Structure 1
Amino acid sequence: MGWMADETGLEKCDANYVPLTPLSGLKRAAHVFPDRLALVHGDSRLTYRDYHARCTQLASGLSALGVMSGDVVATLLPNVPAAAEAHFGVPACGAVLNAINIRLDVATVSYIFEHGGAKVVLVDSAFVDLAEAAVTAIKGDGPQIIEVAAPEFGHPLSGRHLSYEALLERGEPDFMWVMPKDEWESIALNYTSGTTGQPKGVVYHHRGAYLNAMGQVLSWQMTLHPIYLTIVPLFHCNGWCHTWMMPMVGGTIVCCRDITAKNIFDAIADEGVTHFGGAPIVLNTLINAPEADRRVFDHVVEVFTAGAPPAPATLAKIEPMGFHVTQVYGLTEVYGPATECLWDSKRWNDLDGDNRAAIKARQGVAMPFIEDVTVMTEQMEQIPMDGATDGEIMIRGNGVMKGYFKNPNATQEAFAGGYFHSGDIAVQHPDGYVQITDRAKDIIISGGENVSSVEVESVLMTHPAVSLAAVVAKPDDTWGEVPFAFIELLDGATANEAEVIAFTRKNLAGFKTPKHVTFGELPKTSTGKIQKFALRERAKTM
């Protein structure tokens, strides 16, 4: 099917077939836009000529350290130029990029180092102690630490490791990039907490990264030379693939290390930022900013927002301030955004206020690079598109991960029936637009970070006074959702909220720590299973 009767001599060759990869975008940009501004960080300015040269020297420097094709190179970096450069320099030497969340605790970072098998890790000076402790906890050799200085932020080099700039100086400026021979080759490894406390390694291929980056240009209706502010951490789904996207349109990346209202407003006013992505907490930060932190700007800023669905009230307040917000939805397993609330001007332009915001809060329809997004039952049957019947969001297409690293059982389960099972519960409206009604299992999304309730409960259960613990999401105006812990104490034992929160903070990253704790008997089924749905409802009113 699809083949002509006589295709003699019509075969793939170097002239007519090249594996898709986002690396091509920067190579092209260095040629087409050599003097255009590519990367901004404070007073630092890099043209595309400079950007490509530094990525080339990074690739060469890593190769000189013994990094080979298929090896893993990790990062512990905030949104700084080195993080953007790693997205090209690491795969340009044939390696796989493992961008690690800088907010994780030592044990989790150590697990990722060991499970992923990183040979080298690029570490911001502010996180050297974390990296060193994680390497020490590994059985056997851990990754070599390369230190990225941040003196302007109070984090000079420790002097204990080879510096990033020294590594680049070792690099050959004419190093030949290692381009993929097959677009199925891996480009990135990202760890997500998923629905359990043990992180799973999500593997991306070059084809998916390319198509996601290119497809979002269409979804965002981008023209040439946008100015993009990196609010989405580059360790979250590789910054939603936006760093790979910018060279394709000759755009400028403005690095934002510290996400504050003042820094965002300053970047918009001073650098002319036209686009950024972020969780609803970013929108709330701007809405609630004090007058002293605000700046006047004369253009509309396009915003992709995702995470916990933003409250209609938030959307209603942010747009009059000069921001045009589009709700998107995705997961680490689908390279970041996979759906968009594509605006239908014929049906919705007359809506305003809460009615307009309620439509914009939907997760929407598949982006151009996704084959299908729908909502199905456990039996893989399409739910009625009535806006009321619940099912699970299912996704299929080139923008879906290769699978979970070293975890074939989880991969097979996730892909059962020919779709990726998101685990997110939603309804589907008559026009096909998807709208989430509940998060996957018991995952809490706080400020865009995934928090596993199972992991938090496991820590709470180690408290000497705790008999049972259940953790659910509580809606929060600032963070979207925060962990709320319900605890049954052992007979005769005592504890208070502050004590329990302090206990968990010693064992978990700050964003995973419960923000509220209450005590009492937990509701259970006849078989003893805790009724979390009841606790979620209770948390909303407390």
Structure 2
Amino acid sequence: MYTVFSVFAATADAAAFKPSLCIPARPDHGYFPDGVELSYGDIARQVCALRDQYRASGFGHGHRACLLLENRPDFIVHWLALNGLGVSIVPINPAYRAAEIEYLIAHAEPDLIVTLHDQKELQKALTGAVPVLEVSGDDLGASVTQIPLARRPPPRTCEPGSETEAALLYTSGTTARPKGCILTNEYVVSTGRWYVSHGGEATYHAGAERLYSPLPLFHMAGLTLTPIAMMLTGGCLILPERFNAKLAWRDIVSCRATVLHYLGVIVAALLAQPETPDEKAHALRFSMGVGANPEQRARARERFGIPFVEGWGMTETGRSPFNTVEPRHLETNTIGRSVPGLEMIVLDADGNTLPPGTVGELCVRHSEATPRRGFFSGYLKDPVATEQAWRGGWFHTGDSTWQHADGAIVFVDRLKHLVRRAGENISAAEIEAVLTTSPLVKQAAVVAARDPIRDEEVAAFIVINDGAAASRALAQDIFHFCRKRLAPFKLPAWIAFVGELPLTSTNKIQKHTLLGPDKDPQAHPDMIDLRQEKTNAIRQSN
């Protein structure tokens, strides 16, 4: 039996003076502007003090706490303190608008919300039913003096263990509302352990690695892959506030990073930057991640002098395959192979195994005897969706793949109606639901448009209500309507006004015909480009 806290505590006991967390310097930061490096002992002392305070306020095994703490060190400290008591965390994306936060709170039913001061969108969403703890976010929780008393039933008397819920992460699906994935301590720890187990060009050395992870802590990879990998190996997590292509190499060099975790958008952004001496002066040995195509990986390896090891992952599965076993087929989007503990197969729509070279759906499991071991425990309050995803004893990923004759699996595309923007999964149905509440919109269909930097962008095809005239000004009005209701990264970057949407005989929208196979928005004659407006909205929200 183990927990995230017990894994951290074991490393802290054995290596109290080793570096655990490094924050790059940022003069404009509201926290640690000069940067800071914290040891396992530094963090452990504050974690244990906070844990005692939470316990004294009545929080414990079976409770949930929302964390709206951005990518600050306080997030890690509060998470470990709460986990040590058996309290599950529910990270909140700081870009969320009030309506999105309100839904999350209502669905997750947290017992506490831990937040930075002056979070305006959260304040709009609060009803007073959930206690709120405001923290400074710049002192490892040292300024916490009074934690609100727990209002819900007392915690369970049994000790938390590997099957205890550790986190509830919300992931976009094909429905209008995000699903809450229940993640246990076993899921979190085994995901981190799996991440450092691949070897080859992605070999980790105990006590020696410094992992630069420019990923948000409300994501599966940012929460479970990289932090747990460092806890398990006694390494140091380098945690910037967010990815910044102009500053990334400076951070990597000054923080002495040895490993970089990437998303496709990160590789593309680094390649788009002018050459700098830092990109040759780094100490990186390799980079591993998801979403970079073969051409990007080849260019990045040549320019930056390290391998970029491609993999695949999603919140429901946790553990991720990576392409480290020869032959690696680097000319394709090869993501790895089926191995004990993460069996992968390519199936057709009827659940039949497909021969090599044939595109089908990627399905995964732990093993035939224990298919769900180490995976998510289910979608909160949605057992039907959970069982549908696990039909036939395999988890159906919704991603299309094919297999080489030697077993290597190649990623093709997503089967689900998702827009994969800069590592964010955006639900098309969620945006459509907002669009159709506008008095200007009669019908709407949202699809993924190709984007050279962000992988994909949001494109909306809209049938306007009678009386409205199609124009750029109308597109901007609809954009601003969405801006009040959606996180900026979800906003439409392209809008096209159409007379009608193409329908099947059963009245389903034929989305694949809207942009065509190339997904090129600029090839559509009526497409209105709102990318600059979206960029401005994102900047203003930061």
In 2, the alpha carbon distance for the partners of 1:516 and 1:438 equals 21
CA contact (8 A) 2:69 2:137 kept: no
In 1, the alpha carbon distance for the partners of 2:416 and 2:10 equals 43
In 1, the alpha carbon distance for the partners of 2:42 and 2:400 equals 46
Matches within 5 A, 1:104-115: 104-115=96-107
Letter in 1 for 2:227: T
2:30 aligns with none
CA contact (8 A) 2:342 2:364 kept: no
CA contact (8 A) 2:440 2:478 kept: no
Aligned to 1:261, which of 245, 249, 267? 245
Aligned to 1:532, which of 488, 506, 511? 511
Asked if 1:435 corresponds to 2:410, the answer is: yes
2:144 aligns with 167
| CA-CA distance at 1:255 after TM superposition | 1.7
Matches within 5 A, 1:516-531: 516-520=494-498, 521-531=500-510
Q: Evaluate the alpha carbon distance shift between residue 300 and residue 244 of structure 1 in structure 2; reply closer, same or farther with a 3 A threshold.
A: closer
1:331 aligns with 314
Q: Evaluate the alpha carbon distance shift between residue 487 and residue 294 of structure 1 in structure 2; reply closer, same or farther with a 3 A threshold.
A: farther
| CA-CA distance at 1:222 after TM superposition | 0.5
Deviation string 1:7-57 (CA, Å, 9 cap, x unpaired) is: xxxxxxxxxxxx143333222212221111111224322111111111112
Matches within 5 A, 1:74-89: 74-89=66-81
| CA-CA distance at 1:194 after TM superposition | 1.7
Aligned to 2:120, which of 129, 132, 137? 129
| CA-CA distance at 1:148 after TM superposition | 2.9
| CA-CA distance at 1:420 after TM superposition | 1.5
Q: Evaluate the alpha carbon distance shift between residue 300 and residue 124 of structure 1 in structure 2; reply closer, same or farther with a 3 A threshold.
A: same
In 1, the alpha carbon distance for the partners of 2:146 and 2:488 equals 37
In 2, the alpha carbon distance for the partners of 1:282 and 1:146 equals 32
Letter in 2 for 1:192: T
1:234 aligns with 217
Aligned to 1:223, which of 188, 205, 210? 205
In 2, the alpha carbon distance for the partners of 1:80 and 1:517 equals 36
SS at match of 2:311: strand
Letter in 2 for 1:364: G
In 1, the alpha carbon distance for the partners of 2:4 and 2:273 equals 37
CA contact (8 A) 1:395 1:422 kept: no
In 2, the alpha carbon distance for the partners of 1:29 and 1:55 equals 14
In 2, the alpha carbon distance for the partners of 1:20 and 1:150 equals 29
Aligned to 1:209, which of 183, 188, 204? 188
Aligned to 2:266, which of 254, 258, 282? 282
Deviation string 1:123-167 (CA, Å, 9 cap, x unpaired) is: 234x6222222223xxx512313223359xxxxxxxxxxx93222
1:394 aligns with 364
Aligned to 1:198, which of 169, 172, 177? 177
Q: Evaluate the alpha carbon distance shift between residue 22 and residue 422 of structure 1 in structure 2; reply closer, same or farther with a 3 A threshold.
A: same
SS at match of 1:487: strand
CA contact (8 A) 1:269 1:296 kept: no
Aligned to 1:141, which of 106, 114, 129? 129
Q: Evaluate the alpha carbon distance shift between residue 169 and residue 25 of structure 1 in structure 2; reply closer, same or farther with a 3 A threshold.
A: farther
Q: Evaluate the alpha carbon distance shift between residue 450 and residue 461 of structure 1 in structure 2; reply closer, same or farther with a 3 A threshold.
A: same
SS at match of 1:374: strand
Letter in 2 for 1:471: V
| CA-CA distance at 1:168 after TM superposition | 7.0
Q: Evaluate the alpha carbon distance shift between residue 235 and residue 518 of structure 1 in structure 2; reply closer, same or farther with a 3 A threshold.
A: same
CA contact (8 A) 2:66 2:92 kept: yes
Q: How many residues align?
A: 488
**Structure 2: gaps spanning 5 or more residues:** 26-34, 148-156, 525-542
In 2, the alpha carbon distance for the partners of 1:89 and 1:300 equals 32
In 2, the alpha carbon distance for the partners of 1:256 and 1:236 equals 14
1:410 aligns with 385
2:536 aligns with none
* More moved, 485-494 vs 187-196: 485-494
SS at match of 1:503: helix
TM-score, structure 1 length as denominator?
0.84
| CA-CA distance at 1:511 after TM superposition | 0.9
Letter in 2 for 1:501: F
Aligned to 2:335, which of 363, 385, 388? 363
Aligned to 1:34, which of 2, 16, 33? 16
Q: Evaluate the alpha carbon distance shift between residue 65 and residue 489 of structure 1 in structure 2; reply closer, same or farther with a 3 A threshold.
A: same
**Structure 1: gaps spanning 5 or more residues:** 1-18, 152-162, 171-177, 349-354
Asked if 1:54 corresponds to 2:46, the answer is: yes
* More moved, 316-325 vs 250-259: 316-325
Deviation string 1:295-335 (CA, Å, 9 cap, x unpaired) is: 542433422222xx323332222112134211121111122
Letter in 2 for 1:380: G
| CA-CA distance at 1:75 after TM superposition | 0.8
Aligned to 2:490, which of 491, 499, 512? 512
SS at match of 2:173: coil
Q: Identity over aligned residues, as a percent?
A: 26
2:348 aligns with 377
TM-score, structure 2 length as denominator?
0.84
In 2, the alpha carbon distance for the partners of 1:311 and 1:30 equals 38
| CA-CA distance at 1:169 after TM superposition | 9.5
In 1, the alpha carbon distance for the partners of 2:100 and 2:338 equals 33
